[in-house]
Amino acid sequence: MLALIFGLSAAVTWAVHDFLVRRLAPNQAVLPMILVVAFAGCAALAGPVLVVGGWDRMTAAAYGFGMLAGVAYIPGSLGLYMAFKLAPVRIVAPVLGAYPMLSLGIAALQGRSVGALEWVGVAAIVLGIAFVAVLSRGEDGHAPARLGPALGWAVFGAIGFAATFALGQEAARQGATLPSILMTRLVVTAGIVALVLLTRPPMAQVRGSLPTLGLMGVLDAVALGLVLAAATLPHPEYAAITSSLFGVLTILLAWKFLGERVQPLQWVGIVVVFGGIALLAAQG
Measured distance CA(224)–CA(222) in Å, rounded = 6
SS3 (DSSP) at 110: coil
Q: What are the φ/ψ torsions at residue 244 (nearest 5 degrees)?
A: -65, -10
Q: What is the pLDDT of residue 124?
A: 87
- Of 248, 169, 188, the closest CA to residue 8 belongs to 248
Q: What is the pLDDT of residue 244?
A: 82
- Low-confidence spans in the chain with pLDDT less than 70: 89-90, 133, 136-146, 258-262, 281, 284
Domain ranges in the chain?
Answer: 2-283
Measured distance CA(30)–CA(80) in Å, rounded = 10
**CA dihedral in degrees (156, 210, 257, 26; nearest 10)?**
-50
Q: What is the pLDDT of residue 260?
A: 63
Q: What is the pLDDT of residue 137?
A: 55
- Of 28, 66, 14, 38, the closest CA to residue 231 belongs to 66
